[in-house]
Chains A and B, each alone.
Chain A
Amino acid sequence: MKDQDSPQPEERDSHTDPAIWRGLTQQRLSRRQLLASAGTGAGVLGLSAFLAACGVKGNAPAVSGSSPAGGVGTAAWWAKQKLHHTVNFANWPYYIDVLKGKHPTLEHFTQQTGIQVNYTEPINDNVAFYAKIRPSLAAGQYTGFDVIVMTNNTPNALGYLMQNRWLTPLDQSMMTNFYKYASPLVKNPSWDPGNKHTMAWQSGWTAIGYNSSVIKNPGTTVDVLFNKKYAGRVGMMSDLQELGSVGLLAIGVEPATSTESDWAKAAKKLQLQKSDGIVRAYYDQSYINHLKNGDTVVTQAWSGDIFQADLNSKYRDLKLLIPNEGAMFWTDNMCIPLYAQNPKDAMAVMDYFYQPQVQAVVEYYNDYVCPVPAAKQVLLHPTGWAQQALTAMKPEIGLPTSKTAYAPTVFPTPQAIQHSRSYYSFKSPEELTAWNNLFLPIVQGS
């Protein structure tokens, strides 16, 4: 679905150290508890004190100093799991192929395996969803979901899930499609070495979107966001990870290897940007409306949004700039929460989405980075079921499949991969609190 005339990443001298290699050397998140929670004996939202006073104790959380309780996720445990022929899959709305009220890829999966997928779309925010399922996990209960999709740049969602060991370790033996077809960007990633807990769903870049009819020459660095010429017409993201990361890029620091003093410097620069009146507002995902409407002329932007906008003739002036410093590469990940009732079926459906044919159908509908490079060939020369599905979807999408195949933001070039930067991986809640305390006042302070 990409317009072939859409902007290529800016050409410039190549970095010698792609972020992906840095990610490989990243230390794994280590567990630490902020407060001794053992004393209360219950992890339920605030009710613990009340219940304790009434002499009722809640269930102890599964977390303790060792690996997940009962050897969950070990090879022996997986060997005992059976297929139940049903799986509860929670995703973000509108993030999967849709055709006349059905999901072709899911129907095909049910045909192939006999597993019924209860596909629902209750996730609209990472942390909000985590806040919803956290009490269940803390109380040792089934969350109601076997597969959920969480973004990697959410230390207080996916980060906490991993820290608290609230994800079921994946059955590596069932990940045949994954290991065969997954792109290097999502295999063994920095936030989950060895893919012990996650498999990517889709990815994207947070870079810079700008209106080329207003900004004729945006330059090649993030400084365009800090340019006084565009004071009052610059959009920044309210997400603290995105905001802080671009601040770090702006002071010339790699977010993945930054230190707390770097963060303070970045926060200072962002605060200055705000007090200079350069920022119009800190937006959530609605930033794209303001760029489209002309309220902002340059903004932090997701790659998929800009390319979807570009397909509309009215918004063709909107372009994506991937600065020299790099663009933050984020990934939405499928994972299995602890206490899932249908883990084996969850593994089956997760690995299913790594078949190139299946990804081709999903990708034709989506505009984000595909985790399966082989899907490109399927889009160019579809056969069998994929061809049927793609042909059926074409009237609504209105583009030849080759457009999606050749889109550099769907199937990234090595250049684009080199420009990808990883987010900082937090090692403890204290670190995250420090980050939040530095950047939250910028967004919500007056």
Chain B
Amino acid sequence: MLAPYLLSLPAGVWLLALFLVPLVVMLSLSLQSCNPATGACVLTWHWAEFGQQLSLYHTQFLTSFYFAGAATLIDLVVSFPIAYWIAFYGGSKKNFFLLMLLVPFFVSFVIRTVVWEFILSDQGVVLGALKHAHLLPQSFHVLGTGYAVVAGLAYNYLPFTALPLYVAIERIDRRVLDAAYDLYATKRAAFTRVILPLTIPGLFAAFLLTFIPALGDYVNQVILGGTNNTMIGTVIQNSFLVTLDYPGGSALSAVLLAIALIGIFAYARLLGTRTIEEYL
């Protein structure tokens, strides 16, 4: 019957027209040669563009992997307990806590960033107090380092990790846990041998949903970073908005998207097709 097709029709049409088609055209730019002044482009099948961009910016790709990876791991570790607590002990206040996780992100990132610049400044509220108490050397600084970038990424992508984790944990059938306790499992065993394995697909999904966007992020590095930790997102941003090198920027974006696709295929492979349907 037509039911699945009808249900997914609005989304399908919308995404096709406003995502896929423009995306494909934009990516085809990576094979074109453009006049940066007028924006006029000619399709020249310039495959060498990929090689050029990768050789120029492989360091930035690696930097992005480190930072995004670190931030995602931090987010996973930080989010799991809170997702667990909300799922199991949230009770009627579940929505409240989920909202509290999301509400700070209603406030524009420009504002949040300006405030973080202030909070993390060398003599600011946090560092200044610590330095005053001689807990930190005077020359210590957070802003302008890779640590600040990772911290910023972890902060800004926390909901991307916490929410899928919460959903995954919340879906665990309590009866399975009851069965475990019936079989005289300790609390720890119940956790490590029942709950944790059941959340692994969710963990992987949360990882992907955080890592991939973080990989393409640029705001955090620009605001909080220094001179030696440019991420690939910044390079792409500069290509589109400073040098107007659309082919170069598109080529780099294509690589990023390829990485994302590899991620989802790996997910399907490792966890089987059935699981991917339930967690994305």
Are chains A and B touching directly in their complex (CB below 8 angstroms)? Answer: yes
**A residues lining the B interface (CB < 8 Å):** 33-35, 37, 39-40, 42-50, 52, 61, 63, 125, 127-128, 130-131, 134-135, 138, 156, 160, 163-164, 232, 238, 240, 274, 279-282, 284, 286, 289-290, 293-295, 429, 432-433, 436, 440, 443-446
CB distance from A252 to the nearest CB of B (A): 25
B222 close to chain A: CB less than 8 A = yes
By a CB distance below 8 angstroms, the chain B residues around A128 are 241
Nearest B-chain residue to A58, judged by Cβ: B40
In whole angstroms, what is the CA distance A49 to B24 when docked?
12
B38 within 8 A of A: yes
User: Which stretch in B4-12, B113-121, B199-207 binds the other chain?
Assistant: B113-121
| Contact of A35 with B121 in the complex, beta carbons under 8 Å | no
Interface size class of B (residues with CB under 8 A): 35 or more
Task: Given A293-B122, A444-B235, output 20 extra A-B contacts at Cβ < 8 Å.
Answer: A34-B37, A35-B42, A46-B25, A46-B26, A46-B250, A49-B28, A49-B32, A49-B43, A127-B241, A131-B241, A131-B244, A134-B38, A134-B39, A135-B39, A138-B38, A280-B226, A286-B117, A293-B118, A436-B242, A444-B238
Which residues of chain B (210-263) have a CB below 8 Å from chain A? 222-223, 225-230, 234-235, 238, 240-244, 246, 250
Let me know if B63 and A446 touch, CB within 8 A.
yes
Pick the contact of A131: B35, B40, B143, B240 (CB < 8 A): B240
Given contacts A49-B43, A446-B228, contact A125 B241 (CB under 8 A): yes
List, sorted by A's number, 12 A–B pairs whose CB atoms are closer than 8 Å.
A34-B35, A37-B35, A37-B38, A52-B43, A130-B244, A138-B38, A156-B243, A274-B227, A280-B144, A432-B36, A444-B230, A446-B60
Chain B residues lying within 8 Å of A63, measured Cβ to Cβ, are 38
B35 touches A35 (CB 8 A): yes
With A and B bound together, what is the CA distance between A33 and B63 in angstroms? Answer: 37
Report which B residues bind A (CB closer than 8 A).
Answer: 25-26, 28-29, 32-43, 59-60, 63, 114, 117-118, 121-124, 139, 141, 143-144, 222-223, 225-230, 234-235, 238, 240-244, 246, 250
- C-alpha gap A383/B240 in the complex (Å): 49
Closest CB of chain B to A368's CB: distance in Å? Answer: 22
Closest beta carbon of chain B to A248's beta carbon, Å: 19
Chain B residues positioned under 8 Å from A46 (CB to CB): 25-26, 28-29, 32, 34, 41, 246, 250
Given contacts A286-B223, A444-B238, A446-B60, A48 and B122 within 8 Å (CB-CB): no
State how many angstroms separate the Cβ of A86 from the closest Cβ of chain B. 29
> With contacts A240-B242, A293-B124, A446-B63 known, is A43 near B38, CB below 8 A?
yes
Which B residues touch A45, using CB under 8 A?
A: 29, 39, 41, 246
Given A279-B227, A444-B230: A48 and B41 within 8 A (CB)?
yes
The answer to whether B37 and A160 have CB atoms under 8 Å apart is yes
Task: Using CB atoms, name the residue of chain A closest to B123.
Answer: A294
Q: Once the chains bind, are B242 and A156 in contact (CB under 8 Å)?
A: yes
A290 touches B42 (CB 8 A): no
Let me know if A164 and B37 touch, CB within 8 A.
yes
Q: Is the CB of A295 within 8 A of B39?
A: no
Q: Is the pair B234, A444 in contact by a Cβ cutoff of 8 Å?
A: yes
Which partner residue on chain B sits nearest A437 by CB separation?
Answer: B243
- Pick from A61, A232, A281, A432: contact of B38, CB below 8 A: A61
Name which residue of chain A comes closest to B43, CB basis. A49
Known contacts A48-B41, A49-B41, A163-B37: does B243 contact A446 (CB below 8 Å)?
Answer: no
> Bound state CA distance, A443 and B123, in angstroms?
26
Q: Determine whether the beta carbon of A47 is less than 8 Å from that of B35.
A: no
Most chain-B CB neighbours within 10 Å: which of A43, A49, A138, A444? A444
B59 — which chain A residues lie within 8 A by C-beta? 445-446
Contact A47 B25, CB 8 Å, known A35-B40, A61-B38, A131-B241:
yes
Least Cβ–Cβ distance between B124 and chain A, in angstroms: 6
Shortest beta-carbon distance from A297 to chain B in Å = 10
Q: Are B227 and A48 in contact (CB under 8 A)?
A: no
Do A446 and B229 have beta carbons less than 8 Å apart?
Answer: yes
Q: How far is the CA of A289 from the CA of B33 in the complex (A)?
A: 39
Set of chain B residues within 8 Å of A164, measured between Cβ atoms: 37-38
Closest residue of A by beta carbon distance from B117: A289
Name the B residues within 8 Å of A295 (CB-CB). 121-122, 141, 143-144
A41 to B, closest residue via Cβ: B40
Instruction: Using A45-B246, A290-B117 as known contacts, say yes or no to A50 and B25 having CB atoms under 8 A apart.
Output: yes
B122 smallest CB distance to A (angstroms):
5
User: Nearest chain-A residue to B26 (Cβ)?
Assistant: A46
